[in-house]
Structure 1
Amino acid sequence: MKGNDHLITAKAPGKLYIAGEYAVVETGYPSIIVALDQFVTVEISRSKSFGSIVSKQYREDSVYWRRQGDQMILDNRDNTFNYIISAIHLTEEYAQILGRSMDVYDLRVNSDLDSPNGKKYGLGSSAAVTVATVKALCEFYQIPLTKSKLFKLSAIAHLDVQGNGSLGDIAASVYGGWIAYQSFDRGWLMAARMNQPLSDLVDQPWPDLKITQLTPPANLQLIIGWTGSPASTSHLVDKVAIAKSREKETYERFLADSKKCLNTLIDGFKQGSLEAIQNGIQRNREILNHLANFSKVQIETPTLKKMCDIAVQHAAAAKSSGAGGGDCGIVVIDKARDISEMIDRWRENGITRLSLRVHPVIDLDKEI
């Protein structure tokens, strides 16, 4: 079956972690993530001879490398193009298993997940570009998709490049809205990929994977502050992994504390209690600061600390978002409160409020 002749457009939203960072990279540890109304858009059109991959934003992505002995080892985890290529390889492998014949096409990527001058906000652009590419190609090759299949294909493609991380940002880009997410067993996935065809892999349940939509209380307002300095998630996660092997007991205690905190936080959403959610956010900030102290990883930079402290002085709960080290912080506050003074004080301290809203739960039939 040949691909469509008309222009295909697919989009995937960015994300922000609300709570549960670092612990979520371990199998079965919960987190809360929200999808945002900024998108990566992928367009595909049939090509006559040569195919192309063109991106307005990612033309000049840096490539990092290190030494291993005398060898130069490339680190492609922060290069968005690699995620696009990985998503193409994987989706086409799946399409061929389903009997589709391959075609040549032009693929164009456009993102509004980074600032106009190209600085990264930390909204999960590599995950969103992976999801949008898989989504567009499945439509091009006329492959029916469920959210579960889209998540699994995108997760495998992303993991092939990044090699670490929880894949929670993929889940947020696929499902939309607020989600509680816990990671699947990545060791199982690596073994299963060697032994099972891709079609079986996407059709079966994955051990420990849990994705649940959450409904925030009506009086909850989410505010996002940006510090102006980008951070590399994969490198920060690497550093924590090194500390984990050095301080096993302290790390195990961090995991237990995080799980307890997140389960209480998720209950706060189920009960519709803003107070319980704010308490959970504050507790998670403490837990992450403790992790930062023993791992020597700067999660809450001085600017992020300032952002959070100012918010707390204005009756809000606040913490860093994602790996920290820069990027964004999140604030949860009662909608009825006046936030103008808080925003003014942020501005005085070099913190920008991002005008982002939560992207609603995604209905695949409407999206694709």
Structure 2
Amino acid sequence: MPEPVTRSAPGKLLVVGEYAVLEPGRPAIVVAVDRYVTVTASAAVEGHGDAEVVVDSDLLDHEVAFRRDRGRLRPLDPADAGHPRGALAHLVSAVEVVDRLRTEQGLPLMPLRLTVRSGLHQRGVKTGLGSSGAVTVAAVEAVTDHYGMRLPREDRFRIALLAGVRIDAGPSGADLAASTWHGWIAYRAPDRDALRRGLRHRGVAKTLAAPWPDLSVRPLPPPGGLHLQVGWSGSPASTSALVADLTASDWWRGPARAGFVRDSERCVTAAVTALEQADPDGLLDAVRTARRLLARMDADVSLGLFTERLTRLCDAAESCGGAAKPSGAGGGDCGIALLPADRPPSALRARWAGDGITPLELGVTDPPSHSPRGRPR
């Protein structure tokens, strides 16, 4: 019987490029932060009758037991029937994709217990650090390593993204890239609708092996002369709901979308250049530009990206000599600020606390020093 395997994946913050990165091949910068989801994969499913897969998570109020049925996981308890939601849906999809890959390769399926612990929530509420992405990446790595499948890093990322698109093809996968590669990342997304079609018609193995032409993941150096500060607005936001509202709008189907995407790509390109050339002022300018682009889109579409607290978060950072913006979908969750190294963060954190914003003690994860199993592209 395979030994238990524990793997962790970090959360993420979007620095620049939100929403435009939904377009295949359009860039964003994402950073992995040192809060983690940890998943342990083992074969211990005793005590659950005919269960073949058991999920025990601090994101759920009870263990959920499943049987395998024609490539899907079906809950044993009728009370758990219905479409799984949140973290459970992503865990289920990750296991189903790995199961299908093993079946296509003629490998056996084995009993599986997943034990999940999350550090990406604040007082039990999600903070916008990419918990769905982190739990998917950690689960894929734990399950494949538990089974002895020594996969390259890029294949593990691809499996995680395939697991995600089975649930929702809208999100870009930037969170998965950060959770997989760590550190500062320049990311361009593949066509997720094409991946979903590939899964349906060709299966997992052939979709993994096929070209993903728009995908790009490139490590970036951390910003010199600046430090990253993160504030939590105190209210969660649904990325999927905001993305769905945007893509259903007339604005998204009209000419304004093309202008936004073009301007966003210029902004991200400027930010990448600033990071690579250790130009802190250039990066601050890019973050301010990204804030203006999001604010303009928000005004046009009325998505509610800039809540009152997120606006105060950004204004406070500007008054302290930095630059700030919402991170990710907006509408709540977190905002990020970059401050010059000679500006103590205590003043900004005090301003935030006075405005009802919770400063988060976060650092950026170091990228792995070497990777015998993978290679970024």
- TM-score, normalising length from structure 2? 0.88
Aligned residue number for residue 9 of structure 1? 6
Aligned residue number for residue 98 of structure 2? 91
CA distance in 2, matches of 1:78, 1:292: 28
The structure 2 residue matched to 1:23, chosen from 13, 20, 24, is 20
RMSD: 2.1
CA distance in 1, matches of 2:116, 2:372: 22
Distance 1:164 1:126, change over 3 A: same
The DSSP-based 3-state class of the residue aligned with 1:58 is: coil
Deviates more, 1:182-191 or 1:31-40: 182-191
1:76–1:161 contact (8 Å) kept in structure 2: no
CA distance in 1, matches of 2:322, 2:62: 39
Give 1:339 deviation, angstroms: 2.1
- Aligned residue identity for 1:169: D
Structural mapping, 1:132-211, within 5 Å: 132-211=138-217
1:243–1:294 contact (8 Å) kept in structure 2: no
The structure 2 residue matched to 1:54, chosen from 49, 53, 56, is 56
Aligned residue number for residue 131 of structure 2? 125
* Equivalenced residues, count: 351
1:28–1:182 contact (8 Å) kept in structure 2: yes
Structural mapping, 1:52-91, within 5 Å: 52-59=54-61, 79-91=86-98
CA distance in 2, matches of 1:297, 1:114: 24
Aligned residue number for residue 117 of structure 2? 110
CA distance in 1, matches of 2:252, 2:188: 25
1:265–1:277 contact (8 Å) kept in structure 2: yes
State the 4+ residue runs in structure 1 displaced beyond 4 angstroms. Answer: 74-78, 244-247, 363-367
Distance 1:103 1:76, change over 3 A: closer
CA distance in 2, matches of 1:88, 1:225: 34
CA distance in 2, matches of 1:247, 1:8: 46
List gaps (5 residues or longer) in structure 1: 62-73
Distance 1:234 1:34, change over 3 A: same
Structural mapping, 1:38-53, within 5 Å: 38-47=35-44, 49=46, 50=51, 51-53=53-55
Q: Deviations over 1:143-178 (max 9, x none)?
A: 111111011000010111123110111111111000
CA distance in 2, matches of 1:89, 1:304: 38
Aligned residue number for residue 65 of structure 1? none
Distance 1:352 1:78, change over 3 A: farther
- Aligned residue identity for 2:304: Q
2:12–2:179 contact (8 Å) kept in structure 1: yes
- Aligned residue identity for 1:114: H
Aligned residue number for residue 327 of structure 2? 321
CA distance in 1, matches of 2:273, 2:322: 19
1:95–1:141 contact (8 Å) kept in structure 2: no
Aligned residue number for residue 282 of structure 1? 288
Give 1:283 deviation, angstroms: 0.3
Deviates more, 1:184-193 or 1:211-220: 184-193
Q: How much identity, in percent, do the aligned residues show?
A: 33
CA distance in 1, matches of 2:133, 2:90: 8
Deviates more, 1:39-48 or 1:315-324: 39-48
Give 1:225 deviation, angstroms: 0.6
List gaps (5 residues or longer) in structure 2: 64-80
CA distance in 2, matches of 1:60, 1:76: 16
Q: Deviations over 1:215-260 (max 9, x none)?
A: 0233221110111010000001111112245661112111111111
- TM-score, normalising length from structure 1? 0.90
Q: Deviations over 1:11-57 (max 9, x none)?
A: 11110111100111111111000001111111122236544211112
Give 1:364 deviation, angstroms: 5.1
Give 1:265 deviation, angstroms: 1.1
